């Protein structure tokens, strides 16, 4: 019985995380505006999810144990891309932001940097989220 529940959750959690931001994405697309989108909140969430995914990846956990994190990050990145498009952001700024995000994430996940750095980044992001003042 416990094995069936575990299998169900292994499938259900990533699926639900894979579609949880679809209403927000469709609303932004329908409005063709980034109004109401908190980019600072989205950036903090993306950083926390990315750091957690990097930690799991760098420690060679099975992908099924952390698949929801990359799915949520992908949806956040899509929201950033939509905001950049709707706000007519300069392509150079978008490229710099993309590069500035992708390179550290790759270096952490691929274990190019020492594991102590991955752990420090993960902990510091969580600390930042806990101390972040609410609006």
State the CB neighbour count (10 A cutoff) for residue 83.
Answer: 17
The HSE-up count of residue 11 (CA atoms within 13 Å, CB side) is: 5
Domain limits for position 73: 38-131
**Residue 98 maps to a domain:** yes
**Residue 56 maps to a domain:** yes
**Residue 122 maps to a domain:** yes
Query: What does pTM read for this prediction?
Result: 0.76
**Residue 22 maps to a domain:** no
Q: Which long-range contacts (CB under 8 A, 24 or more apart) does 27-33 make?
A: 28/79, 28/82, 28/83, 28/86, 29/82, 32/86, 33/86
pLDDT digits (tens, 9 = 90+) for 61-107: 988 888 889 989 999 999 988 888 888 888 888 888 888 888 888 88
**Residue 127 maps to a domain:** yes
**Residue 103 maps to a domain:** yes
**Residue 57 maps to a domain:** yes
The total of structural domains in the chain comes to: 1
**Residue 88 maps to a domain:** yes
pLDDT digits (tens, 9 = 90+) for 34-59: 888 888 888 888 988 898 888 898 88
């Amino acid at each position: 019985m416990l094995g069936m529940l575990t299998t169900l959750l292994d499938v259900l959690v990533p699926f639900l995380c894979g579609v949880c931001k679809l209403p927000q994405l469709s609303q932004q697309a329908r409005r063709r505006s980034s109004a109401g989108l908190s980019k600072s909140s989205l950036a903090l969430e993306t950083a926390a999810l990315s750091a957690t995914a990097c930690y799991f990846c760098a420690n060679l956990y099975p992908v099924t144990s952390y698949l929801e994190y990359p799915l949520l990050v992908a949806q956040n990145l899509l929201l950033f891309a939509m905001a950049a498009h709707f706000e007519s952001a300069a392509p150079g700024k978008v490229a710099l932001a993309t590069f500035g995000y992708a390179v550290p994430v790759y270096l952490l996940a691929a274990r190019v940097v020492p594991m102590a750095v991955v752990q420090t980044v993960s902990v510091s992001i969580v600390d930042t989220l806990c101390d972040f003042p609410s609006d």
